[in-house]
Amino acid sequence: MIDNGGRFFAMKHGRKIHRLSRPADQRRALLRGLTTQLLKHGRIKTTRAKASAMRKYVDKMITLAKEGSLHKRRQALGFIYEKQIVHALFAEVPERYGDRNGGYTRIIRTLPRRGDNAPMAYIELV
């Protein structure tokens, strides 16, 4: 339950967004950075909550690259931090994921982090 500062508690029914204990601007910057790094390296290790929150954005960027128009390229340039990654993404994705409709990422659970026992996972491109 979430304390809304009053006498009553609000439950999290129907909340689709992963808040990650951050304000909206910090959360967006974090997810942009993680998405950029995943598209650059192909596989990264992060917490399970961040991995599941990031999956939505990575799939959206790959879908934009599959469509391949100038408008979609500019949308991707507005989200991904490095321009070279966007150009490589738009060049590589149509032949790599041309026959796949979604499900471009895989989350593999791993051991918890040593310092704070946070659940960790690898997220990788399929």
**Distance, CA of 63 to CA of 110 (rounded, Å):** 28
Residue with tokens 């994921």: 97
Instruction: Dump pLDDT digits (tens) for 67-107.
Output: 999 999 999 999 999 999 999 999 999 999 999 999 999 99
> pLDDT at position 33, please?
98
Mean pLDDT, residues 111-125: 97
What residue segments make up the domains of the chain, in order of their start? 22-125
Six-digit token pair at 56? 């939505």
The class of domain 22-125 in CATH terms is alpha beta
Question: Is pLDDT of 2 > 70?
Answer: no
- pLDDT above 70 covers a percentage of the chain that reads 93
Mean pLDDT, residues 51-78: 97
Looking at the DSSP assignment, which residues form a beta bridge with residue 106?
A: 124
Kindly indicate the confidence band of residue 23, based on its pLDDT and cuts at 50, 70 and 90. Answer: very high
Give the ranges where 19-82 is alpha helix by DSSP (H). 24-41, 48-67, 70-79
> pLDDT at position 8, please?
63
